[in-house]
Amino acid sequence: MNEQTKSVNRTSAEPRSLLPSRVGRQIQKHWRLIVITIPFVWLLLFFLLPFFIVAKISVAELKIASPPFSNMFEWTDGGIVTVRIVFDNFIYIMTDNLYFDTYLNSVKIAAVSTFFCLLFGYPIAYGIVRSGPLAKPIFLFLVILPFWTSFLLRVYAWMGLLSDQGTINSILIALGIINEPIQMLYTEFAVYIGIVYTYMPFMILPLYANLEKLDGSLNEAAADLGSRPTNTFFKVTLPLTMPGVIAGSLLVFIPATGEYVIPDLLGGGNVQMIGRVLYNEFSRNTDWPVASAVALTMLFLLVLPIIVFQYYQGKSTGGK
């Protein structure tokens, strides 16, 4: 790599470029820089910068104005800048029970859902790994396909299944198991099903990737040394799939905490999750500072898991 970089700078014989102008030659010379810069700048502008603005708003005061918050910098007549930074918003959300409880509730729901995704996803991933060479890509295709059909519509499908006049209740009543429909829609239970249903592929795929790379002879060696299959699983297979378990869990847990659509459609007003609270705070109550503070806190509490995720990604791909 270093040699190639040197050769770009040392182009004594100018490469025949498509653009014979000076600009063309500059592009040829610095093409690497250009390649990096384009996406980099885009992300800085449209990904990083917004977060700084959010941070700025979170330390501002609510004002009846458009936009509805006070300015950080105010120029007074004497040309002096006063800086108004208010941490009230953060204090508010940390002391107000609603936010605290909602956040805890979100974490709880996300954690339980992650657990079930793992519980069901692991055997599925393992089963696919053990399948024949023809079945494997077919199974993977079948697992990935739902993930790519509309997320919204898949949640909608469960609305149809879980509602009081829905399929499940109808079947149960028809079979005589129950007389009255069971309330399933607009409960926390429905939210669990919704999250597990939509996020399961995110758990299965990293697990599959990890399991697939395992050396099959390790299982044989363990058996040869006298270990029964269950023991082999817990002592050999599971420890070696930890990176996959963690990657899958983070891919489910972190987005699930901030879920908005599922608690809204399947939970109705009954299930409070922080994603909905944020949306409501922002759009309905137009309390941007508070909403920003919530967003920032959420981000901070989730940033740590993201760093962990990055670390494990680096480990499994043997990052440079």
Partner 1 sequence: MIEKSNVDDTTWHTDDKTKPLVQIKGLTKKFGDVIAVDNVDLDIYQGELFCLLGGSGCGKSTLLRMLAGFEYPEAGTISIDGMDMSNVPAYERPTNMMFQSYALFPHMTVEKNIAFGLQQDVMPKDEIADRVHDILKLVELEGYKKRRPQQLSGGQRQRVALARSLVKEPKLLLLDEPLAALDKKLRKQTQFELANIQEQVGVTFIVVTHDQEEAMTLSSRMAVMDAGRFKQIGTPTEIYEFPESRFVADFIGSANIFEGRVSEDGSDHVRVSTNVGEVYINHGQSVAENKQIWVGLRPEKIHLSITPPKNTGPNQIMGQVEDIGYLGETSIYKVRLQNGQIVDVTAPNQRRPMNRTHSITWEDTVFLSWEPESVMLLTS
Partner 2 sequence: MHGRRSRFLTVMITLGLAFFYIPMILLVVYSFNYSKLVPVWGGWSTRWYKVLFASEEVWGAVSLSLKIALVNASFATIFGLLAALSMVRFGQFRGRTLFGGMLVAPLVMPEVITGLSLLVLFITLRQVFGWPENRGFATITIAHITFSMAYVAVTIQARLTGMGQSLEEAASDLGAKPFKVLTAITIPRLMPALVSGWLLAFTLSLDDLVIASFVTGPGATTLPILIFSRIRLGLRPDINALATIIILVVAVCIAIAALIMFRQQKRDLLDQQLAKHVK
Chain residues that interact with partner 1, rule: CB under 8 A: 215, 217-218, 220-229, 231, 235-236, 239-240
Nearer of residues 46 and 226 to partner 2, judged by Cβ: 46
* Site for partner 2 contains 258 (CB under 8 A): yes
* Site for partner 2 contains 137 (CB under 8 A): yes
Query: Quick one: what does residue 166 bind among partner 1, partner 2, none, with the CB cut-off 5 to 8 Å set by partner type?
Result: partner 2
* Site for partner 2 contains 85 (CB under 8 A): no
Nearer of residues 198 and 232 to partner 1, judged by Cβ: 232
Token readout for 56 is 């700025």
Asked whether 201 and 236 are in contact (CB, 8 A), the reply is no
CB of 80 to partner 2, least distance (A): 22
Query: Site for partner 2 (CB under 8 A): how many residues?
Result: 101
3-state secondary structure 176-239: CCCCCCCCCCCCHHHHHHHHHHHHHHHHHHHHHHHHHCCCHHHHHHHHHCCCCHHHHHHHHHHH
d(CA 169, CA 319): 51
CB of 247 to partner 1, least distance (A): 17
Binding to partner 2 (CB under 8 A) within 25-64 occurs at: 28, 31-32, 35-36, 38-40, 42-44, 46-51, 53-54, 57
CB of 141 to partner 2, least distance (A): 5
Nearer of residues 91 and 306 to partner 2, judged by Cβ: 306
CB of 243 to partner 2, least distance (A): 15
CB of 5 to partner 2, least distance (A): 8
Nearer of residues 78 and 216 to partner 2, judged by Cβ: 216
Binding to partner 2 (CB under 8 A) within 263-302 occurs at: 264-265, 275, 278-279, 282, 288, 291-292, 295, 298-299, 302
CB of 224 to partner 1, least distance (A): 5
